[in-house]
Every structure is written in structure tokens, then in C-alpha cells.
Structure 1
Amino acid sequence: MKTFSFRLPDIGEGVAEAEITGWHVRPGDTVEEDQSLVDVMTDKATIDMTSPVSGKVLAMHGAPGDKVAVGSVLVELEIEGEADDRAGPADAAPGRVPGVESDTYASSADETRGAGDSGAKPDNDIGGGEPVRENILVLASPATRRRAEDLGIDLADVVGTGPDGRITDADVDAHLKERAPPPIARERHGVREVRVIGLRRRIAEKMETAARRIPHFSYVEDCDMTALEGLRREINASRRGAQPKLTLLPFFMRALAQLLPEFPQINARYDDEAGVLHEHEAIHIGIATQTADGLMVPVVRHAEALDIWDCAREMSRVTNAAREGAASREELSGSTITLTSLGALGGVAATPIINHPEVAIIGPNKLMGRPVVINNHVTIRTMMNLSSSFDHRIVDGYDAAKFIRRFKRLLENPALIFIEPRTWI
């Protein structure tokens, strides 16, 4: 029997190191060729590293959150026959990186605004120090982990019935039924330490950069959405064939496509290190999207060339790709302005953080019926606050207010969204 050292391969594109985000094995496990060993994240992608050989796991090097250099040993395996102690590009067929199963999702430091650990979280400390819970490996999806955390359930206590013992939502439900209810009144003193790693750390770094480097100026305006909501419902009731159901966001996208050519400094990206503002003719709208791994910003490209149905279809395509972990790097980068919406949870107002290096972000809030005075009479209208933030280095308060007021006019008179702008501006 020989020892085979599986090393972090050269992933290409100038990547010198990667962050460990989750282990799929533990010491003593027997693995087959092409079985998943560990997930690692670079600045460009999260990658599932698979074993190039069959054998028994002797040791793992590094814990989730640790950054390891290309060429570093990740796993030591006991195998039969001779071992060449390599797992790098020299062992791979042309065009294939050994140990790389597939891109789980592509990320961009410029575009990902907001969370999460994308890999399985081991319960024993493999990076040094004393083990926390020895010989326990918990396999579960990020959504199941989050649900268990919200319910106060330690997944190590749950029996998994999925493949390879993976814990499912049904297993969590079964555990809930078996668990005795806690006392109604009981002091709690525990403190749980959670390392901020993987995509969650990327989001934190992105937010810190945006807050530190951009002097934010926020502006909130209320909009009467009664007419637009009526139009949206009427269109949805009469849509045909493969036409998608319209939410409000495609209308916002079309309004931006109409308006932004008049405000080129808002449809822009600011290179503050070089002191250069890049004003874009193309309108690439980022859609802030909550996923199981955290907040991502997939991009609808060339909104200026899309009609209302195209906007809805493309928005659905890229946001679904982000939620499923299948979005490409291009689909998560290059936005020139961002829309961020919490839908029904949108609240009354917000101060959204700009998606650096953009200079503006718009956040529609929750629709609600409110009493409004029209022609000295009180009536109930469907109202919505429109929250926005701007980079005050680039956008003056007057221009921001003018832009949002024009945007409000389009939303309150939705027929204008479908008319060539030069006929009414």
C-alpha cells in the first residue's frame, strides 16, 4: 500500500490560492475515483474537487475558511500499488483540471453583494487544535442547514435518510416530532461561534468595500402604483402561450431603459483609483437575488433592446440560474445599475448599499393601500415607496432627485413606458 497526496491543482486564470468551503469526507473513509472530496472557492468560482484515485482517507489538511496555495496537499490517501505523489496539471488530459468536477457557481468580487457556505460543514477540526465532535460528518443542503439553525436543531443529532446519510427536510421534521418541547421559561447562556467563510465572507468584503469607498446619498420618494398594478393584472389575465407572468420588476427595467440615456452619469461604473467614470450606453441591470448561498446579483444585459416580455424572461432565467448555483461568471458581472427588491417583505423604506463600482441602486418597497388626498377628497390608493442610493462623488443631490422624480412619473403613468421617450420627454 502506498500514500497518495492529493494537491490543490493549478486552476488557471492566474489563481494562486483557494479557500476551503466544505469537506465531503473524513479520515478513515473509503473513496472511489471521481468521488467528491472538498469544495474550494476562488475569486472566480466555487469548485468541487474530486478524487483522481480510489483509496482510504488518511488525513485532510485545512478547515473551512482556510486559504491554501496551489500545490498544497489537501488529502492524503492510502492506495494500492505505486503512487506518484502528484495531482496537478501534468496528470490531466489537455483541457481538464484533475480533481475538478464542475463549477458549482461563478462569482465576481465586483458583482456579488450579498451570503453563505456552499459546502458541507464538518464537525471535527481538521486544521489543527482539538476536535469538536469527532467522527461525525453532517451532509445537508444549505437550505436544510439554515432551517435547522432557525429551529435550534443540531444536525449532528439528526438521522439522515438521504443518499450517503444526507439529512433532508423530512429528517428534520421527524426529529422535531421526537424532540421533547423545551421548558416555557428557561435561561439560555450558550454562545455559538460561526466562522464567516466562503461566499458569506466575499459578501462581507464587498459590503465593506462599498461602505468604505462610496459616500452614499439616499433618497426616498413615494409612488402611486394604482394604475401600474391595474395594467399589470390586466396584462397577466390576457397573456397567451409562453408569455411569462409579469411582476413589477420588468416594468421598472423598461422604465430605466427609457430614462437612463438622459442620465448617463447614473448608468455608469466609477473607477475611483484611476479617477475615471465609465458611462455606458448599454444598460445592464443587476437583479439582487436571494439564494441558498446568500445574496447574488445576476445581470440582465442590454435591457435597452428588450421588450417587457423579454425583460421578464431574461430576469427569470438569470435569477433561477443564480438560485440553482448554475450562473456563469458573465451572468454575475458587468451590471451598470442594480435593482434590489424584497417583494412583499419590502418594508416602508431602505437605504440600499451601492453595488461597487456602480454609482446607483434602486430599491422598490412594499405595495400597500394608503389613504391619499386627491382633489380635496380622501381615497385609498395602492402606494409604494421608492428607496435609492447614489454615489455622491458622481451624482449630485439635485440630479438624483430629478432622476427619481422622472422615474416616478413613468411608474405613475405606465402608458409612457411603452412610448418612445423622445415623444414625451
Structure 2
Amino acid sequence: MALFTFKLPDIGEGIAQAEIVGWHVKVGDRVEEDQPIADMMTDKATVEMESPVAGTVVRIAGEPGDQVSIGAMLVEIETEGEGAVEAAAGKQPEASEGAVVDDVAPVSVRPEPVEGPSASDTDAKVEVQGFDRLSPNGGEVPPSVILASPAVRARAKDLGVDLAQVKPAGDHIRHSDLDAFLLYGAGQGYTPAGRNARRADEQVKVIGMRRRIAENMAASKRHIPHFTYVEEIDVTALEELREQLNAGRGDRPKLTMLPLLIVAICKSLPDFPMLNARYDDEAGVVTRHGSVHLGLATQTDAGLMVPVIRDAQDRNVWQLASEIRRLADAARSGKAKSEELSGSTLTLTSLGPLGGIATTPVINRPEVAIIGPNRVIERPVFRGKEVVAAKLMNLSISCDHRVVDGWDAASFVQAVRKRLEAPAFLFVD
């Protein structure tokens, strides 16, 4: 037997440490060569680490949420021979120059479990007649069995209540169910207000993507003086155009509002270069970008991610629709590459059908602006002296007031509005 120490390799330029997002193995597990053992997150992406040897896991670096330095022990594996260790040592990358190397990454203290019903409370049973329901574990409970805690059964006995007549709101009879029975009588099916919505308290460790989001949003609000401007736009003609384009799209992707909005943004930005920019506040330098690398705030199971459409200004509506779909699918499936998740110069955030009346989006630092379209709704409006139905959408923009003035933000939105309300301008220079 030999002990192999797998050290966290250099997984990106400038990366000094990575966060444990999740383990695929635990101490005592048998692993094979190239088997996934852990997911590690850097500032740019989540990387799956694979075992270079076969053997038994005898030690791991910590819990999800802990940081591991490049070159530090990630996992120790007991192998069956010296040869395997020597071969694996040749496969393991050396730590990058200047990286901090520790023997073991610090392990955070895990929170105490939340108190809940005791085993005696949830598992206690008393035999009665004529009660059908599922057990808390999902299995069928015989008709002669009912779930109730000793305290509830004792109280029912003192009150002379037959528990077979009490209809529980949850998985077993509680004091509130007994109270409802005493107040309203048998067979009423009464459920106290809010009873079904009640759930046990839960402690959730903020790790991985959720911690990255929390840190980035806090830094953005802490460092950037935001202001938000909202304008109402009549998109009646734009929606008619979209329907016509979709009717003749063939095998091309279905158009949503986003590709058309992106075209309007890209055609308006050359007159407002201060918005397509990134601000290095430490160096005191604003970089105004010639190309529009548009970030798309995308909701995933892991949290909010921002894949980037490169050179959005050079794409037509169909190309934009295809790229939007591709990037959204990659982000939601966890297959987005690190270069697809960085380098945006301006971000677009949309809640789709949940769009709401108006939003005040948080800037994706170090960018200086973020744009948020809201839900399209139909309302009556005046056209001359006539009242007609129109499709209206509010467009929100949040800006960094250190770099962008309110006049510039409002003027930019008015330029976008002009193109959206007269969509022929989307297809001419």
C-alpha cells in the first residue's frame, strides 16, 4: 500500500485558490483513475477535478465552501502499489510559481443542525380504526395506524378525544389539529390559516455560485453610485414586425424581443460611447470599447450567470437569436466556458414574462451600465383624439454616476426608443 497526495493543480492564470463547490467522493470510497472527485470554483468557472490514481480515499481537504490554495492537498488516496503513485506524480501539474502552498486548507465550522420534531414525535404511532394516509417517508400507513406524538396522545386522552376522528393537516396529528377539532368538531376538514405553508427553519450555507453572486453584488452596490432611468416605449409596431418575421422564419430560431432590442442598443451606442465601457476605479481609467460584448444575465439552477455575446454589433437578428439560445443552454447546463462568461462591456437583464412594471438592475461591475426591458402590456393610449390599444414596455437603465451623467443615459434610451417605435430604423444605417 502507498499513500498518494493529490494537490490542487494550477487551474487558471492568476488563480491562487479555488472554492470547494461539491464532492463526488467521501472518505472510505473507492475511486478509479480519471473518476471525478470534486468540483472546484474559481473567479471564472467551475472545474471538475479527476483522480489521477485508483485507490481508496483516506482524507479530503474540507467541506463545500472552503477555500483550497493552489498546490495544497485536495485529497489523499491509498493505492495498491508504489508504481501507481510514481505514475500519478508525473501526471499531476506543478503549482504555479508564487502560489501559496499549505498542507491542508482550513476547514470551516459547520453550523449546528436546525432543531425539528424529535424522532419520538414523528415516528410515534397509536393504533386506531379507519384512518388512511401516507407515512412521512412516503410509504402507505395501514388503516389501523395513526401518527401522533406522545404529548398529543396524552392530551387527547385527557380531553376524551378519539384521535381517529381528528383530521391532520400534515403528516401526523399535532396540537393545532387537536385545537381545530375541539373548536370546529369532527369532519370539518378545518386547516388553520397558513398551516399548509408552514415549514421547518433551514440553514443554507452560502457557497459556490451563490457566494460569488453575493460578493459581486455587494461590491457593486458598495463601490458604484447607481442611478436608474425608466422610459415607456410603444412597441406595437415592433411586435407586429416580430410576428411577421416569425411567420416566415423557416428553420431559424423563433425571435423574442431580445434580438430586436440588442440591434437597437448596438445601433445607438456609437453616439454614447461612455455607456459601452468598463471603469477601473483603482487606476482611475475608463476604457470605452469599440465593440459591443453584450452580457446576458441568465438564471440557472446554480444562480445568476452572465454569458457574453461577442461583437454583438456585427450580428443580425437571427444570428443574435441563435447565440442567445446557445449561450443560455450552455449556462444552464453548466457547460459554458470561462471565456464565454467574462469580458462583457454592457449587460442586458430580462425577466421575460415576469418582467414587471419597472426594474432597478444592479450594474455588473466593472461595467458602467446595465439595461433591463420589462413586461409588454396592452393599454389604451391617445393617438390624436382617438383612444386605441397599444403594446407598451418600460425600459430601465442603471448607470454608474461617476462615469455616466443622467442626460447621457436619458438621451441614449430615447435613441433606443426611436428605433424600437419605428422598427424600420433597425435595418438601416
Contact 1:296–1:322 under 8 Å retained in 2: yes
For residues 170-198 of structure 1, what are the alpha-carbon distances to aligned partners after superposition, in whole Å with 9 as ceiling and x for unaligned? xxxx9779799626445958432211111
Contact 1:359–1:391 under 8 Å retained in 2: yes
Q: Who is 2:18 aligned against?
A: 18
The letter for the 2-side match of 1:416 is F
The letter for the 2-side match of 1:404 is V
For residue 131 of structure 1, report the CA deviation from its aligned partner. Answer: 10
The letter for the 2-side match of 1:28 is G
Contact 2:79–2:85 under 8 Å retained in 1: no
Indicate how the Cα distance of structure 1 residues 128 and 315 shifts in structure 2: closer, same or farther if over 3 A, else same. closer
Indicate how the Cα distance of structure 1 residues 414 and 128 shifts in structure 2: closer, same or farther if over 3 A, else same. closer
Aligned partners of 1:128, 1:228: CA distance in 2, in Å? Answer: 54
Q: Who is 1:359 aligned against?
A: 368
Indicate how the Cα distance of structure 1 residues 373 and 345 shifts in structure 2: closer, same or farther if over 3 A, else same. same
Task: Confirm or deny that 1:59 pairs with 2:59.
Answer: yes
Q: Who is 1:170 aligned against?
A: none
The letter for the 1-side match of 2:362 is I
Secondary structure in 2 matching 1:362: strand
For residue 77 of structure 1, report the CA deviation from its aligned partner. Answer: 2.4
Aligned partners of 1:87, 1:220: CA distance in 2, in Å? Answer: 62
Secondary structure in 1 matching 2:82: coil
Q: Who is 1:81 aligned against?
A: 81
The letter for the 1-side match of 2:375 is K
The letter for the 1-side match of 2:36 is S
The letter for the 2-side match of 1:19 is E
For residues 332-363 of structure 1, what are the alpha-carbon distances to aligned partners after superposition, in whole Å with 9 as ceiling and x for unaligned? 11211111101100011110011111111110
Q: Who is 2:389 aligned against?
A: 380
Q: Who is 2:225 aligned against?
A: 215
Secondary structure in 2 matching 1:257: helix
Q: Who is 1:47 aligned against?
A: 47
Task: Confirm or deny that 1:299 pairs with 2:308.
Answer: yes
Q: Who is 2:144 aligned against?
A: none
For residue 86 of structure 1, report the CA deviation from its aligned partner. Answer: 7.8
Contact 1:6–1:86 under 8 Å retained in 2: no
Q: Who is 1:231 aligned against?
A: 241
The letter for the 2-side match of 1:216 is H
Aligned partners of 1:60, 1:181: CA distance in 2, in Å? Answer: 44
Listed as ranges, the matches of 1:150-165 within 5 Å are: none
The letter for the 1-side match of 2:77 is L
For residue 318 of structure 1, report the CA deviation from its aligned partner. Answer: 2.0
Contact 2:228–2:397 under 8 Å retained in 1: yes
Task: Confirm or deny that 1:391 pairs with 2:379.
Answer: no
For residue 87 of structure 1, report the CA deviation from its aligned partner. Answer: 9.5
Aligned partners of 1:398, 1:131: CA distance in 2, in Å? Answer: 50
Identify the match of residue 170 of structure 2 among 171, 175, 182.
182
Aligned partners of 1:9, 1:306: CA distance in 2, in Å? Answer: 39
Q: Who is 1:286 aligned against?
A: 295
Indicate how the Cα distance of structure 1 residues 176 and 347 shifts in structure 2: closer, same or farther if over 3 A, else same. farther
Structure 1's unaligned 5+ residue stretches are 99-125, 134-173, 421-425
Secondary structure in 2 matching 1:256: helix
For residue 378 of structure 1, report the CA deviation from its aligned partner. Answer: 2.3
Identify the match of residue 277 of structure 1 among 277, 286, 292.
286
For residue 222 of structure 1, report the CA deviation from its aligned partner. Answer: 0.7
Identity %: 53
- Larger RCO (CA under 8 A, 6+ residues apart): 1
Secondary structure in 2 matching 1:367: strand
Q: TM-score, normalised by structure 2?
A: 0.75
The letter for the 2-side match of 1:369 is E
The letter for the 2-side match of 1:302 is D
Task: Confirm or deny that 1:91 pairs with 2:54.
Answer: no
For residue 16 of structure 1, report the CA deviation from its aligned partner. Answer: 2.2
Indicate how the Cα distance of structure 1 residues 175 and 323 shifts in structure 2: closer, same or farther if over 3 A, else same. farther
Q: CA RMSD in A?
A: 2.8
For residue 84 of structure 1, report the CA deviation from its aligned partner. Answer: 8.1
Aligned partners of 2:111, 2:297: CA distance in 1, in Å? Answer: 38
Aligned residue pair count: 348
For residues 134-161 of structure 1, what are the alpha-carbon distances to aligned partners after superposition, in whole Å with 9 as ceiling and x for unaligned? xxxxxxxxxxxxxxxxxxxxxxxxxxxx
Listed as ranges, the matches of 1:237-252 within 5 Å are: 237-240=247-250, 242-252=251-261
Secondary structure in 1 matching 2:71: coil
Q: Who is 2:340 aligned against?
A: 331
Structure 2's unaligned 5+ residue stretches are 95-105, 114-135, 142-167, 172-190
For residues 61-90 of structure 1, what are the alpha-carbon distances to aligned partners after superposition, in whole Å with 9 as ceiling and x for unaligned? 3000000122322223222122787898x5
Aligned partners of 1:383, 1:346: CA distance in 2, in Å? Answer: 12
For residues 100-143 of structure 1, what are the alpha-carbon distances to aligned partners after superposition, in whole Å with 9 as ceiling and x for unaligned? xxxxxxxxxxxxxxxxxxxxxxxxxx94768989xxxxxxxxxx
Listed as ranges, the matches of 1:396-415 within 5 Å are: 396-415=405-424
